[in-house]
Amino acid sequence: MRAFQKVAEKIRLDIENGVWRIGDTLSSERQMAQQYQVSRSTIRRAWEELETMGYIKWDAFSPPQVINVPQWPTAIARSSLTQWNQAQTKPVSSFLSDLMSAATSQARFNFEIGMPDASLLPIFELESVIRELFTQRTREVFSYSPTAGIDRVREAIAEEFLGRRNLHLSPDHLLITSGSLQALDLLSSLWIRPGDIVITESPTFAGALQIFRAHGAQIIGIDVGTEGVNPAQMKDALSRHDTRLIYLQPYYQNPTSVSMSEATRQALLDLAISYHVPIIEDDAYGFLAPGHSLPLRAYKGAEEHVIYINTFSKILAPGLRVGLIAGPPDLIYQLTQIKQLGDLHTGTVSQLLVEGWLRSGNIDQYIQAVRKVYAERIQTAKQLLPQLGFPIWGNPHNGFYVFAELPRSLSALAFHQYAAKRDVLFAPGLAFGTDDQFRHWIRLCVSTANPMAIHTGLARLSRLVKAYTDTPGSFGL
């Protein structure tokens, strides 16, 4: 355990034992540093940890306040806590659930959540699909359906969606999941045991890190360069660690929108094959790639080494909660057995809506259009941020996000609260790292803002950074 975690643990126990109560203000940073014989930055890290766990709330201007003291009044509550603590190597953070609150926020500049722009959706096609479903197929729409996914939906996904990604699979290679987060959770349930090593890019999708950690994985991060992760670093990590799995996003990765070069993809696959380590390939943003580009799963020799996951959350609508896993039928069968315990099947209405949209005959036109729009938005943000004094990661050409660096001594987590009260939302970088190196970085989702809104919103962000860092006592919080 690192120093800040030890301090956070002591404060947590004090809160649970009633030393601090809801509404109490904790001692100042200086007093706590003296009390625990650590630096003030360690105290701030401990506060951040406690904030992530939901015990305290704090901002740049005042010491933290206790906002939640978990109560364990019953045997059930107490034993869940004990079991939970034994199972977890790290407390589960609230990153994803916090992000979901941002989805419905009315903030004027919401760069926090990664979503497609609803105003680009083919509303007429979707309307006619919905009308047909609700008037002519009412019984089917409101019925239970098979756990692995409705057959005709799996067929449509195989032909119309994966076919366009140059993957040619039969429907029995597919499991329809409730979003690709469920795909990650199912695969983790099957494969990860506490202490197992998982290698990921760093930075990478915070939700994946959250799930792997919740299953007890130890994460090894490999730096994302301009062409994706460096194969030499991957080789070094594989040769030093007995690795359970590798998680990669070869195209427009979240949060940097960097894509891997062809050579990198091939080299990483070769390494996975020679070290016998499966890769989970997350292709959430692959639809933005040129038509001829290949996911790893389409490479020669990948069938037995790459499990492919994807989602309709970025191409269509995240509220549908439709994702998928493509893998060998035996694995799909095992995952289906686990899925039945959780939600029985993915929503029938959502699946049929996806099928109707895929078969509408218009999706090529739509994909071409959104590729162009998102590329323009990324270009706008990519040019503007460095001009405003914020370097960005890599050189993205398309995607939903830019990953930007704020002044080094600023905590993006604390600044997030300050900016949110002033109408600007972003995702703090800490959640995307396998360690704490991104605490002064932020992820900005620009897919939902037009270039004008990007200009105005980023200029406002820049003024807020300046005002925040000029406020006495706030810098470095």
Ligand X SMILES: Cc1ncc(COP(=O)(O)O)c(C=O)c1O
Give contact residues for ligand X (rule: CB under 6 A): 114, 179-181, 205, 207, 249, 254, 282, 284, 311, 313, 318, 323
Backbone angles phi, psi at 203, to 5 degrees: -75, 165
Report the nearest approach of ligand X to the CB of residue 440 (Å).
22
Measured at the CA of 376, the angle between CA 378 and CA 128, to 5 degrees, comes to 105
Can you give the C-alpha Rg of the chain in angstroms?
A: 23
Report the residue number, 313 or 351, with the smaller CB distance to ligand X: 313
Is residue 110 a contact partner of residue 102, using CB atoms and an 8 Å limit? yes
CA 411-115-325 angle, 5° bins: 105
Answer yes or no: are the C-beta atoms of 463 and 388 closer than 8 Å: no
Cβ nearer to ligand X, comparing 323 with 396? 323
Q: How far is the CB of 17 from ligand X (least distance, A)?
A: 38
* Alpha-carbon gap, residue 39 to 117, rounded angstroms: 44
Q: Which of 429, 405, 449 is nearest to 255 (CA)?
A: 429
Measured between alpha carbons, how far is 384 from 458 in angstroms, rounded to an integer? Answer: 8
We find the least distance from the C-beta atom of residue 45 to ligand X, in angstroms, to be 26
Asked if 212 and 238 count as a contact pair (C-beta separation under 8 A), the reply is: no
Q: Which is nearer to ligand X, 202 or 249 (CB)?
A: 249
- CB-nearer residue toward ligand X: 43 or 322: 322
The answer to whether the beta carbons of residues 431 and 203 sit under 8 Å apart is no
Q: Which is nearer to ligand X, 200 or 336 (CB)?
A: 200
Q: Which is nearer to ligand X, 11 or 324 (CB)?
A: 324
- Report the C-alpha gap between 437 and 472 in whole angstroms: 25
Write the burial class of residue 127 (CB in 10 Å: 0-12 exposed, 13-18 middle, 19+ buried): exposed
Minimum separation from the CB atom of position 102 to ligand X (A): 12
What minimum distance in Å lies between the beta carbon of 39 and ligand X? Answer: 35
CB of 407 to ligand X, least distance (A): 27
Specify the pairing of strand 323-326 against strand 174-177: antiparallel
- Closest to ligand X by CB, 348 or 474: 348
* DSSP state letters, 307-366: EEEEESTTTT-GGG--EEEE--HHHHHHHHHHHHHHTSSS-HHHHHHHHHHHTTS-HHHH
Closest contact distance (angstroms) between CB of 309 and ligand X is 7
Which CB, 113 or 156, lies closer to ligand X?
113
- Shortest reach from residue 182's CB to ligand X, in Å: 7
Q: How far apart (Å, rounded) are the C-alpha atoms in residues 37 and 398?
A: 47
For the CB of residue 181, give the shortest distance to ligand X in the complex, in Å: 4
Q: What is the DSSP letter of 226?
A: B
Work out the number of other CB atoms within 10 angstroms of the CB of residue 134: 12
We find the least distance from the C-beta atom of residue 74 to ligand X, in angstroms, to be 33
Beta bridge mates, 401: 445
Q: Which residue is nearest to ligand X (CB)?
A: 179
Q: Which is nearer to ligand X, 67 or 96 (CB)?
A: 96
- Of 44 and 314, which has the nearer Cβ to ligand X? 314
Give me 45's structure tokens. Answer: 């890290």
